[in-house]
Amino acid sequence: QVQLVESGGGLVQNGGSLRLSCVGSGLTFSSYAMGWFRQAPGKEREFVASINWNGATIYYGDSMKGRFTISRDNAKNTVYLQMNSLKPEDTAVYYCAASNRPSRVNDEYRYWGQGTQVTVSS
């Protein structure tokens, strides 16, 4: 059974930083591209970042460029999302997901975690 478990969310002030982690089990983690998405209340799920199996190919959503960094450690079956200069509009539930290739499209992701809440206070 495949499981993706996110952690690291919480409450942070405007301009602060958080690092999210997602640990995968039940899959050959190094064979999958990994992505982060987020969903705010009343809004559609939004692409945040994706990374291919070895970190050579990385994509970011437009509003995250320069502030967020995705990385992975295949030895630990973990993908990370470092978020800096956080803004209130970054408040959302953040999900990690696994796909056969890095993509901005959520339908291309096969496995999903349960999400972790990030709240940025103004």
pLDDT score, position 34: 98
pLDDT band at 97 (very low <50, low <70, confident <90, very high): very high
Amino acid letter, residue 68: F
As a whole number, mean pLDDT of residues 99-119 equals 97
The alpha carbon of 34 is separated from its chain's Cα centroid by a whole number of angstroms, namely: 8
Strands (E), 3-122: 3-7, 10-13, 18-25, 33-39, 46-51, 58-60, 68-73, 78-83, 92-99, 109-112, 116-121
pLDDT digits (tens, 9 = 90+) for 21-78: 999 999 999 999 999 999 999 999 999 999 999 999 999 999 998 999 999 999 999 9
Size (the chain), residues: 122
CA distance 111 to 69: 21
